[in-house]
Amino acid sequence: MKKVMLLSSLLLLFAGCQNNTLDNNKDSSVSSENSVKATSESTDSKKTWLSINGATPKYLERNKIELTGKGKPNTKLVISLEKDQSNVATTEINSQGDFTVRFNAPESKESYLFENQDKKTFIYLYSESNFAKKDEIANKEKEDKEKAEKDKQEAEELKKKKIVEENRIKNEKETARLEEIKKKEEEKRQEEKQKQDMLNNASREQKNALRLYKLYSLLQI
């Protein structure tokens, strides 16, 4: 009877080991297909106290993730969404400073607030299904930045060309103005010369007339 009971216990133990192996394989297969990226972006470098073990948290099932890490021993860790302060999960940090916490995976990029006593830090989690969208947004931002830079350069070139053209027109107007002044001064000089010539001619005629008059007077004597 004792042998039969011992055999039954061994069979049950073997069956349990097989079930655990299947469950572990199931978790492992899901984890390889789905993952969530985590990056720590603390608002204050002096408050970066929380550490996450690895950049890829374990993906337990379709919408659950598991984060493991270290914090202050024998304290409570509270996780909430930054955008609305809604509670996501609460867990205890053990005496060795280790913790494990599970909660729903984000549908897209989300900022999570990790609070432990008076210390806080923010960690961004990215859903892997949104990586392509995130890259698309990043590429779009890069294209927009490059386009803005190109437009800025073109605007600066147009501004330079406009300044050069304005200076050219200004120089042409100034040159024309100086030419006009020079022309008027030349005309005035010619008029003065003509007047002087006329006065000189009149003076010679007067002198000739006076000389003829004197000669005529001598002849009369």
The model's confidence at residue 17, banded by pLDDT at 50, 70 and 90, is very low
CA 106, chain centre distance (Å):
26
- Token pair for residue 47? 């408050």
The pLDDT of residue 42 is: 37
pTM of structure: 0.35
Q: Is pLDDT at 157 greater than 90 in this prediction?
A: yes
Phi/psi class of residue 96: alpha, beta or left (left: φ > 0; alpha: ψ in -120 to 50)?
A: alpha
CB-count exposure of residue 154 (10 Å: 0-12, 13-18, 19+): exposed
The pLDDT of residue 126 is: 59
Cα torsion angle, 12, 15, 20, 21, sign:
positive
The pLDDT of residue 153 is: 92
The pLDDT of residue 163 is: 92
Write out pLDDT tens, residues 84-125.
Answer: 888 888 888 899 888 888 887 776 667 777 787 777 776 766
Spatial separation of the C-alpha atoms in residues 163 and 134, rounded to whole Å: 43
The pLDDT of residue 63 is: 62
Comparing CA positions, the residue from 185, 60, 48, 72 lying closest to residue 123 is 48
C-alpha atoms less than 13 angstroms from C-alpha of 15 in its C-beta half-sphere: 6
CATH number of 27-128: 2.60.40.10
Instruction: For tokens 């605007």, name the residue.
Output: 155
C-alpha pair distances (Å), 77 with each of 88, 105, 124: 11, 18, 17
46-61 mean pLDDT = 45
- Token pair for residue 4? 């039969």
Residue ranges of domains in the chain: 27-128
Q: Are 36 and 52 in contact (CB under 8 A)?
A: no
Q: Is pLDDT at 15 greater than 60 in this prediction?
A: no
